[in-house]
Structure 1
Amino acid sequence: MTNFYSFHGTVTAISDFNPGYNQGCSKLFTLENELGSIVNFVVTPSTYFVDHEIVLVGDRVTGYFDGDLPAILIYPPQYQALVMVKDQPDQFTKVDHFDNQLVSSDGELKLNLSPYTQIVLTNGQLLSKYPGNRDLIVQYGPTTRSIPAQTTPYRIIVLCLTSQ
């Protein structure tokens, strides 16, 4: 179970990271939010970009990282990006651990599956098992006003991280 933390903002810079080794394979994305806070994300070939979107300077994105990993004490803070999500109109995305009842670890969202809910792995292949008790990327639209909010997701992407 990964303890996902996120930061949402506008990409202000993209540069090569660690240029001496595997030149061009890793990038440093600098994000700034509406309050002026800045975060750097190290983006590697293992970082999952939802819909394999190409992210450019000026795009609004959310970067997700493992909040339990140690972070170096520098400013701006720098985290290893696990998942990057480019903003899409009229669509929400939640990256979190969902229990066997498909309730997120923060208790804010419950998933109701339908026959039309697409459940896939990060490589695009269909999941052959129940998606509960896993780290998931959930793309959804409207929710109920209940606690937890409930939704029927458009798509669920299962993160089979090495820690699982």
Structure 2
Amino acid sequence: MANYLSVYGIISSVSPFYTSVSGSSCSLLLSVNAQNLGQINFVVTPQTFVLEQHTFRPGERIIGVYDTDVPVPLIYPPQYLAVVMAQNSDGYEAALDYFDEDLSNAAQTIKLNIPADGSTQVVLANGQNYLFSPGEHYLFILYMSASDHIPAEITPSKIIVFCSDNE
């Protein structure tokens, strides 16, 4: 199972990320001043999920998520392949993990509470409403606060459901 880490910071620059000698690229390099990591770079490819298809600009607060199991080049600043990127002007916390049918993450450190009143927006990666329980999927969650005990109880503001190819 993949291990994802969320990074919070401010974009310092956005530039093309050249992957071939042709002089063109479909990927971007976002340089970020991360809160706890200092200067880092995110490579944003066409496969990166970008919340609400946002166009990033220098000076914006962001959340970047990368897979800690993917090898990274030994360079400074560190360069990570972005799995999820989101603008974070509202100061959200975020997590990407697999959640079981009881809405607990794989490490049993987070338990989701989804109110019946519809205040938590639950959508697919393509932006369409998800009409079932989001459990048994990888979920990207945005939330403002969590309880202090383990597992942390979280009432997310938004949940993005990543379905497998055979669903």
TM bucket (normalised to shorter chain) is 0.7 to 0.9
Pick closer, same or farther for the CA change 1:160–1:73 going to 2, 3 Å.
farther
Contact 2:6 2:95 in 1 (8 A): no
C-alpha deviation, 1:64, in angstroms: 0.8
Contact 2:6 2:94 in 1 (8 A): no
Hey, what's the Cα distance between the residues in 1 that align with 2:5 and 2:55? 22
Pick closer, same or farther for the CA change 1:77–1:142 going to 2, 3 Å.
closer
Pick closer, same or farther for the CA change 1:67–1:160 going to 2, 3 Å.
farther
AA at the equivalent of 1:126? N
Structure 1 counterpart of 2:154: 151
Pick closer, same or farther for the CA change 1:3–1:35 going to 2, 3 Å.
closer
* Residue in structure 2 matching 1:136, options 135, 139, 148: 139
SS at match of 1:82: strand
C-alpha deviation, 1:25, in angstroms: 2.0
Hey, what's the Cα distance between the residues in 2 that align with 1:133 and 1:45? 26
Gaps of 5+ in 2: none
Hey, what's the Cα distance between the residues in 1 that align with 2:164 and 2:126? 13
SS at match of 1:125: coil
Contact 1:3 1:97 in 2 (8 A): no
C-alpha deviation, 1:21, in angstroms: 5.0
Cα RMSD, aligned residues only? 2.6
Hey, what's the Cα distance between the residues in 2 that align with 1:8 and 1:95? 14
C-alpha deviation, 1:34, in angstroms: 4.3
Hey, what's the Cα distance between the residues in 2 that align with 1:154 and 1:62? 15
Structure 2 counterpart of 1:123: 126
Counterparts of 1:1-164 in structure 2, within 5 Å, are: 1-18=1-18, 20-21=21-22, 23-34=24-35, 37-89=38-90, 91-115=92-116, 116=118, 117-160=120-163
SS at match of 2:149: coil
Contact 2:14 2:56 in 1 (8 A): no
Pick closer, same or farther for the CA change 1:102–1:21 going to 2, 3 Å.
farther
SS at match of 2:153: strand
AA at the equivalent of 1:102? L
AA at the equivalent of 1:134? H
Hey, what's the Cα distance between the residues in 1 that align with 2:113 and 2:37? 37
- Range 117-126 or range 99-108, more displaced: 99-108
Q: How many pairs does the alignment contain? A: 163
Hey, what's the Cα distance between the residues in 2 that align with 1:144 and 1:6? 18
| Residues 108-152 of structure 1: CA deviation (Å, up to 9, x unaligned) | 321012231332111012335432232111122343333222122
AA at the equivalent of 1:33? A
